[in-house]
Structure 1
Amino acid sequence: MINVKAGSVTFQNVRKTFGAFTAIHDLSLTIEPGTLVTLLGPSGCGKTTTLRMLAGLEHPTSGKILIGGKDVTMLPANERDVSMVFQSYALFPHMTSLENVAYGLQSSGLAKKEAREKAEEGLKLVGLAGMGHRLPAELSGGQQQRVAVARALVLEPQVLLLDEPLSNLDARLRRRVRTEIRDLQQRLGFTAVYVTHDQDEALAVSDRIIVMKDGEIAQSGAPRELYEAPASPFIADFMGEANVLPCEVIQSDAGEVLVRVSNLEHRLQSKAAQGPAKLAVRPGAIRIGAPHAAGLRGRVLHSAYLGGHVEYEVETDVGTLFVIDHDVDHAHAAASDVTLAFKNRGIAVISG
């Protein structure tokens, strides 16, 4: 029986430098037990350094790290009660799947028979029952990834760490395996810290997303909150792409505002104050119509049919907008004059 011991994670004013370079600036965050939290951001933002400090593979220059309320700041990796699933899976090629899963158990002193029984249970847990005799080379990429997850889980860690676990898989397999990881986490209730640069992946698996930029937290919140209420142009564009436009808030009352973008006015839910602001508009939140319709005037620069939708680049007097339209039967050709209007969802007033 695999017994999950979901622990909390706390970073208290953690700073990490490499020579004159500061990778992490005064990081403070708390991860609740039994949640899956994703560290998301572009390359060089500090997410992997944060994960490595949690794993004990790096030590902070200053500050504290606690797991389950225990200060582990300077403890080595093998004393932290965490397990890690690496990007490369790091399976021993000469060992079978069962032997790979049992390896950590036997290394920690568990009797060989018990280790094998627990390893078999771990493989069953990830849907690989009866495949323990296979070598890693005899498994698909998705199956290798599941062996790596089983190997980590059978150690019954307080926290499971996943470092870009799906990056070696093709797009279709990534979608399937991320669903399996999320289902497993919810079923067992373990605490997981998941690192990725893929926004769709983060939105699909997370209870909470921490977006990092230049070694700091840019915004933290539930997936829907980050997508629908970005706090900055960086978050708006990074979390699913957005057109960031200059606007004027001309009315603000009871949580609703009226904004003006060029000749187009639009009402939406927001607590923004009156005055100049910026509007984040998702590509799918723009309605593209004929040139005689009311709206923001524009001209199609590029039009691309992608099966289920058409992608446009439309030149307007507030900049070039990226538009996604699912009306593939009435596509607008390049050089066409069009008008643009906003839908009710996928639009947010943001600061700075």
Structure 2
Amino acid sequence: MTNPQRGSVEFRAVRKNYGAFTAIPQLDLSIQPGQLVTLLGPSGCGKTTTLRMLAGLETPTEGQILIGGQDVTRLPANRRDVTMVFQSYALFPHMTVFDNIAYGLESGGLKKAEARHLADKGLDLVGLGGLGDRLPSELSGGQQQRVAVARALVLEPQVLLLDEPLSNLDARLRRRVRTEIRELQQRLGFTAVYVTHDQDEALAVSDRIVVMKDGMIAQDGTPRELYETPASEFIADFIGEANVIDCEVLGVTDGQAMIRAGGSEFQLPARDAPAGPAKLAVRPGAFRVARDGDGLEGTVATAAYLGDHIEYEIDSSAGRLFVMDDTSSVAIDPGTPIRLQFRGVGVALIA
């Protein structure tokens, strides 16, 4: 009978100390089968330590780690039914692409003929059929990354771990390969845990994003939830750019807060905010730039035409604000008085 929990991951009250230093104070996290979950955060936040504990390369000081419902906390890496795609690809340079993929299968005791058959399927899976006789040095960076993914997938792990898998690629290739990884994951439905410090990458590939700070989960949600309704100023600033401005909660009715900010009044989900002074996280594209009317008074400090939108820096009573306007192709000259009105989407109360 198929294990209904196959591919699930659970951290239960996991703690990790390095001597007197506590890298992970307490981690409770559940990942459902078939999800791609990204661990995101700045350097030193604990995301790589978390991935290494899941892989069996680090042992928790306290707590439990379960994969597919089985407690693997004390199991070595080779008995965890997970595979990892490393930042460096870790391909054998003297082996052909085909042999790189077949190596893990043959080392695991599979007969050569069956290993070759699965390696062929792996190459086709990642769109590299016909390139099996090449050496890694004869492939592009993106193709090498796909070989690394194929080598991991042919082992049919419960969970695929990806540690900064695109950091060695240039920006254009990074966009393409992240799309390929996401399409492959959705098509095959495998569980993946993906570590990155790149916010755009996380937004593009993830079912869920777990943002970490100081070894703890700062917020866990879908890309849209984290972008549109950040839980704190840290999240608002880390996931994309955000302007943080003062506001006042005039009152709360049925979970909706009446807000006054910059001469405008509007409603937002209250998110447990009481009446009184508060803060708003406002995405650069959530402002409407107007010549008159109500809204936050400001003066254009800088204006830059970028083809499909115009970027402004606006001096206002709330400080200097970064604004993106995709509704006009003509920039307003610096020094011009304007009003900033709120569009609604991309504006959230934060703690």
Give aligned pairs, total: 346
Separation in 2, partners of 1:51, 1:155: 19
Q: Post-superposition shift, 1:43?
A: 1.1
Secondary structure at 1:329 match in 2? coil
**Structure 1 contact 6–191 (Cα < 8 Å) conserved:** no
Separation in 2, partners of 1:319, 1:260: 17
Q: Which runs of 4+ in 1 moved over 4 A?
A: none
Comparing 151-160 and 255-264, the one that deviates more: 255-264
Q: Post-superposition shift, 1:270?
A: 3.4
Separation in 2, partners of 1:93, 1:308: 43
Separation in 2, partners of 1:42, 1:52: 17
Where in structure 1 are there 5+ consecutive unaligned residues?
Answer: none
TM-score w.r.t. the length of structure 1 is: 0.95
**Structure 1 contact 263–295 (Cα < 8 Å) conserved:** yes
Secondary structure at 2:155 match in 1? coil
Separation in 1, partners of 2:85, 2:58: 16
**Structure 1 contact 162–195 (Cα < 8 Å) conserved:** yes
Q: Post-superposition shift, 1:262?
A: 3.7
Identity %: 69
- Alignment partner, residue 211 of structure 1: 211
Q: Post-superposition shift, 1:176?
A: 1.7
| 1:290-314 Cα shifts (integer Å, max 9, x gaps) | 2x33221112222222221111111
Q: Post-superposition shift, 1:208?
A: 1.1
Letter in 2 for 1:275: G
Report 1:176-255 matches (<5 A). Answer: 176-255=176-255
2:256 equivalent to 1:284: no
Secondary structure at 2:329 match in 1? helix
Comparing 78-87 and 172-181, the one that deviates more: 172-181
**Structure 2 contact 309–329 (Cα < 8 Å) conserved:** no
- Alignment partner, residue 58 of structure 1: 58
| 1:252-311 Cα shifts (integer Å, max 9, x gaps) | 222332211243323334343321111110000011122x33221112222222221111
Separation in 1, partners of 2:341, 2:267: 12
Separation in 1, partners of 2:187, 2:257: 42
- Alignment partner, residue 48 of structure 2: 48
- Alignment partner, residue 259 of structure 2: 259
| 1:40-88 Cα shifts (integer Å, max 9, x gaps) | 1111111011001111111111111111111111221111110000011
Q: Post-superposition shift, 1:6?
A: 4.2
2:101 equivalent to 1:101: yes
Letter in 1 for 2:247: C
TM-score w.r.t. the length of structure 2 is: 0.95
Secondary structure at 2:124 match in 1? helix
Report 1:1-352 matches (<5 A). Answer: 6-271=6-271, 272-290=273-291, 292-351=292-351
**Structure 1 contact 255–269 (Cα < 8 Å) conserved:** yes
Secondary structure at 1:143 match in 2? helix
Comparing 199-208 and 85-94, the one that deviates more: 199-208
Comparing 271-280 and 9-18, the one that deviates more: 271-280
